[in-house]
Amino acid sequence: MIELLIVMSIITIMTAASLFYLTAHQDLYEAEDEALMIIDVLQEARQRSLTQRETIRVEIDITDNVVRLIDENSPGTADDDTPIRELALRVQEKVTVNSRADNVPDNPPESSPVPSAQFRQSVYPGSENNQVATMRFQSNGTIIDAGSNAAGNTGAISTGVTLHVWSPDKDNASEAEVGRAITILGSTGSIRLWLYEPDAPTGSPHWLDSRRTSTYGGV
């Protein structure tokens, strides 16, 4: 009985230690998992816009904490938008999808400057008045912003977007413990995931290309 109790105690201790390290490992990769989920939605939007020859809208809604994929259907109207998919994001305390973290000084070094995503008050049905970053994939391969009206046909311009996805540091919530970024080139629709390395040696880039890209017909 004593030997059995000793064995059971060892198994319990090893199991507890394994669960502790497994949980820590999962926390470390939450930002990457969320970035990959968003990339999947962006890639689907890109592919649908080219194959269906329609404008497909992606909304990153930080008020409702979701990402939406929407078919705009007829151009110039807002009452026929068709929701395709809506996926929940992690709580902001776990993964932040918003402005760049305080300890991340710059955006990834794309071939042309790609500004950070702008979260503005949405004008679209379903997300009206929420804080949303809007990317609209066009049938010609370009990406435009939300524009200024619910139909999206006023004031919309072609633009690239950098989405920052990061896990807040436990001791300082405004700094990233794990940083990722998604760049979307407005002129080609190319989508790329970047990894932030805060401890990169002097003279080395802090942003590393993950080599996970998608152009779906872009150059």
Ranked by mean pLDDT, which of 55-64, 90-99, 206-215 comes out on top? 55-64
Task: Answer yes or no: is pLDDT of 51 > 50.
Answer: yes
Give the pTM.
0.82
What digits encode the pLDDT tens for the residues 127-185? 999 999 999 999 999 999 998 888 777 888 888 999 999 999 989 999 999 999 999 99
Percent of the chain past pLDDT 70, that is, above it, reads: 87
What digits encode the pLDDT tens for the residues 100-118? 999 998 899 888 779 999 9
Residues near 62 by beta carbon (within 8 Å), at least 6 away in sequence:
89, 92, 97, 98, 119, 130, 131, 132, 133
Q: What's the pLDDT at 112?
A: 79
The tokens describing 128, both together, are: 């009206």
Beta-carbon-side half-sphere exposure of residue 70 (alpha carbons within 13 Å): 26
Which domains, ranges and CATH numbers included, belong to the chain? 2-214 (3.55.40.10)
Task: In whole angstroms, give the CA distance from residue 152 to residue 113.
Answer: 24
Task: Answer yes or no: is pLDDT of 31 > 50.
Answer: yes
Q: What's the pLDDT at 202?
A: 66
